[in-house]
A and B are shown apart, each in its own frame.
Chain A
């Protein structure tokens, strides 16, 4: 290698002296490629080709010719290596096209594109649709997607033999145009041994804007995905122990006088039946643990400190949450949840989003006529009382306008936005609602006062999504302006701005420990951001279309994301890798949610179904094993079809009752 270096230096010096600038540049380029695992230096032929190529680059017909030859060669190559070689075709195709456009041969580029687009239609139809619009050099500059493609290199994993085959072919046929494209835009990662299996394609084919290397680099960063210290769940476990202890003491001295015991007895009296149930559940839990020792991941989840100052919780609230946790139904693949479905009627195609409070008592809908409507399910039956309450508020609140016949309405109308409401979220306690709108604002509403409290202005474009943090107080928003922002309720300016996505940020979700947020984007990636310093700590690559929904597992370890094509992907947050794609939906996955103990995943889709997936098996099966047998069949537990109602949101209550909501649409 040292020898090589010396020769290179010598040649460089010679070229400089002679004034061969182009060649010198080439040599330098070659040297810079040292980091790549392929050694082009030993290949004088190659250098000659490159040289040749740079001289005769006007010849556009070469692209067409070269590509069609390369294509037919690839299709007739050995089956074993074919799929690896086929991967090369797509980047070569789009880059040839863009090269031709860049050189101003627009007509030829068009014909070229139309001739061969069918080959890639299956995998990359959305990208192709975008590229189809590239009609002049300026478009290349202007279009984000094209620009990022031009700037980055594609990484392709390929085995030694396939690589040799390809090189041999390119040398033999002297197709310099192709060689040039390959050199310029593809970074081969040659691995010795057998060709990789076809199923590994998914990560390879996604061309992202930023260089894959940076993505890898980012994904090296350390992540503390554990749960918060002293969380309620943890307290419950302790309390559970105490409770049983106190029960014992109760039995022993039933007439205990101490304040402590009294308080506890009141508490346990209140729960009367539930303590028994709890015991049963515990026993059930224990058997489950002994049966599947590896399935119980929760106790193993490490604890981390909160990086944000967390809001204090009042004791009553804490008590009610604890009670919910005690009454939680343990779900598993054999014990499926009950699903309560809220159907929006007569929406006249105007419902944009829906949200359900944690206890399911409040349902909110955001409409394209800028209104936000909240239904109180408890009041739905008895309307007399609510009308008075609304009438009172009518006079007090200016922002909140209830029509003259407000008494007849079954819902509370929140008006204030000046554009379609795209997202709404309840605070964990159900006393606040946040809504985001196309008018670039986020508004905070109080469900107690039925009034608008704050209007947060900060985004410059429509705000697609807003989500309260699991502890309340903080919230995150995602916008068309390609940023996600962190806010707190008491400030009208954002606390953090997360920038880095190459296209709209479409959805946002908090990590269970509030230290991270995840964002899904139209650039087909999901990113994980550190809330404290605003840095991107993970990039999840694998989706083939826009990401519409995100969910974090309660143990903080996994994340699920649903996309426009109906694909749901499970990600391991610590490694940044996809554990498994869950296929089954045939249309947009609007929403995903984990059950409270993380054993089930529920997803709602535009194909009018709610699907329940088994997370424990899908998370446990390593990728290479799942090829044997049909993986989807194992994991999809249940498909619940609705009556032509696309499912807009699903959510588990703290007691593991599943709520789902959607708008009845007859014309589907």
Chain B
């Protein structure tokens, strides 16, 4: 019942020569022993406090015993707190290491040094509230107090950061690794070995000490090698791999990394040859940027806003080159449909007005420029289309049972639609731009073979979609009557997207239609 066991009492009794202690006596003594012990500890704690200490010593216990007029316990005096050891195999059982001392040894040992005498030293802890940085004061920033896990910490202190020069030792292996990787990146970025290196970067666990070096390397090389397309691509791949590595905390270095990444997205010129497919690099970098935002957006909440601001500025500045616009659009599109809806769609109309002269054969004689303009148009179309598609997908599917029968009668159309949609979604990567060229008529002479091939496919697709449109509208009328109530509910949401859709249609022509699921399209158009 009490923490002092009956057996303990019996043992103590035997030790002082009482052999026949009755059970009852032991039982009633045990709780009282516990009480007395607690009482003494309480007094000992008082003594400790009045000695301005936070660690209990044997002196305090002696003091407490003295208070109670009890003979102190001899033999435990020590200058400092006692060192307890845990008994192996018994949790909560501690003992003091009490070794046998050979008196002879003690006598023969040379006299120990006399302890230093007490002294007082004086220094300025603060001068008009500011702590001077002298050796007597605690280094600022390191709060010397061992906080007891209290929740209120000194958060309100002014952040005074004194960065000490950090001695950083990099192991020889890591140095070799770094040299090898940078060599590969610079020279042999298309070798199979480089691919292996990327895998290693993405998975190896001991690379964290190298992260600052890699970030510096990337930043340095990007700023120097803007003309070298393959180098840039390799660098971006390195960044991508580093981001994949689960053992690396890349957050502190993001601010060094982001400028070079954004450069690869919206720089005016990437690579120096026409053959360099810098579009691909921009697409890749856009994905990279989106990945970074997704992973670290919640840690740095300003990250995405700053990024989108940069991109939007690049997009809305008419003086920037079309390649820059392309990068900006791709970057924004990669950030998701919401970004597209909020940032691109409102600016779509003025921007298209700017873009239009560049698109036309009569106005823009430079083939290269016109090609770029079409690329931008394509990117824009895709971004807008994807945005609206995602938006429409959110809506609950329209109540189908009544519609179903109608659809069945129009089976041909219905089955045609998904196929068509699938067809248009799959080669999404580069098709829209080309498709646009096909549908809008004036085809530049530079149009490649693929353009021609796909235009045929599109020509076939287009009528079918319009046919389906009319067909569905008939069915919809009947459906509407029955479900008008439900429709009213979602109408408001729909109305918004409906408006957007209509504007999009006006701006981009029918090219946008391929992104719109059929029922919704029939509803809105």
Contact = CB atoms under 8 A, between A and B. Distances in A.
Contact of B128 (A336, A633, A636): A336
Contacts of B136: 341, 343, 643
A260 B35 CA distance: 74
A586 B148 contact: yes
Interface string A360-398: 000101011000010101001000000000000000000
Interface string B62-98: 0100110000000000011100000000000000000
Given A110-B1, A344-B118, A464-B50, A587 B123 contact: no
A342 B117 CA distance: 16
A641 B150 CA distance: 17
Contacts of A151: none
Contact of A564 (B35, B42, B49): B49
A269 interface: no
B469 to A, nearest CB: 56
User: Counting chain A CB atoms within 10 Å of each CB, which of B34, B49, B80 scores highest?
Assistant: B49
Contact of A422 (B51, B142, B144): B51
Given A587-B145, A608-B145, A373 B137 contact: no
Contacts of B50: 352, 422, 462, 464, 506
Contact of A586 (B42, B125, B150): B150
Contacts of A337: 126, 128-129
Interface stretch (A5-13, A130-138, A483-491, A568-576): A130-138
A587 B63 CA distance: 23
B126 A338 contact: yes
Interface in B129-164: 129-131, 136-138, 140, 142-148, 150, 152, 154-157
Contacts, number: 204
B35 A420 contact: no
A321 B150 CA distance: 43
Contacts of B125: 339-341, 610, 640, 642, 660
Most buried by A among B51, B59, B79: B51
Interface residues of A, number: 85
A480 B152 contact: no
A349 B32 contact: no
A465 B145 CA distance: 26
Interface residues of B, number: 59
A135 to B, nearest CB: 3
B471 interface: no
A371 B154 CA distance: 37
Contacts of B144: 608-609, 641-644
Contact of B157 (A367, A566, A639, A658): A639
A438 interface: yes
A19 to B, nearest CB: 39
A197 B143 CA distance: 34
A348 interface: yes
B112 interface: no
Contacts of A422: 50-51
B498 to A, nearest CB: 44
Nearest to A607: B145
A632 interface: yes
B412 interface: no
A338 B124 contact: yes
Contact of A346 (B54, B119, B122, B148): B119
A522 interface: yes
A353 to B, nearest CB: 6
B129 A612 contact: yes
B1 A106 contact: yes
B124 A353 contact: no
B39 interface: yes
Interface string A452-482: 0000000001101000000000000000100
Contact of A339 (B32, B39, B47, B124): B124
B99 interface: no
Contact of A609 (B118, B123, B145): B145
Q: Is the interface of B mostly helix, strand, loop or mixed?
A: loop
Interface string B223-249: 000000000000000000000000000
Interface in A607-628: 607-610, 612
B152 A583 contact: yes
A485 B155 CA distance: 43
Nearest to A639: B154
A177 to B, nearest CB: 22
A188 interface: no
Interface string B21-51: 0000000000110110011001000110111
A528 to B, nearest CB: 22
Interface in A320-368: 335-353, 363, 365, 367-368
Contacts of B503: none
Contact of B152 (A410, A632, A643): A632
A590 interface: yes
Contacts of A632: 152, 156
B32 A338 contact: no
A134 B1 CA distance: 12
B275 interface: no
B127 interface: yes
A141 to B, nearest CB: 12
B120 interface: yes
Contacts of A347: 118
A586 B57 CA distance: 21
A606 interface: yes
A345 B53 contact: no
Contacts of B63: 420, 438, 462
Contacts of B154: 584, 636, 639
B171 to A, nearest CB: 34
Nearest to A107: B1
Contacts of B111: none
A339 B147 CA distance: 23
Nearest to B130: A336
B44 to A, nearest CB: 13
A363 B31 contact: no
B126 A352 contact: no
Nearest to A135: B31
Interface centre among A136, A461, A637 (most CB of B within 10 A): A136
Contact of B129 (A107, A336, A350): A336
A548 interface: yes
B121 interface: yes
A139 B35 contact: yes
B137 A642 contact: yes
A139 B127 CA distance: 54
Interface in A579-599: 583-584, 586-588, 590
Given A133-B38, A348-B115, A546-B49, 13 more contacts: A338-B128, A339-B124, A344-B118, A345-B119, A346-B119, A351-B118, A461-B67, A480-B67, A506-B46, A609-B144, A612-B129, A639-B157, A640-B126
13 contacts: A338-B126, A347-B118, A365-B120, A380-B120, A462-B47, A522-B46, A583-B152, A586-B148, A586-B150, A633-B155, A641-B145, A643-B136, A643-B138
Sort A-B residue pairs by CB-CB distance and give the 3 closest, nearest first. Answer: A336-B129, A135-B31, A133-B38
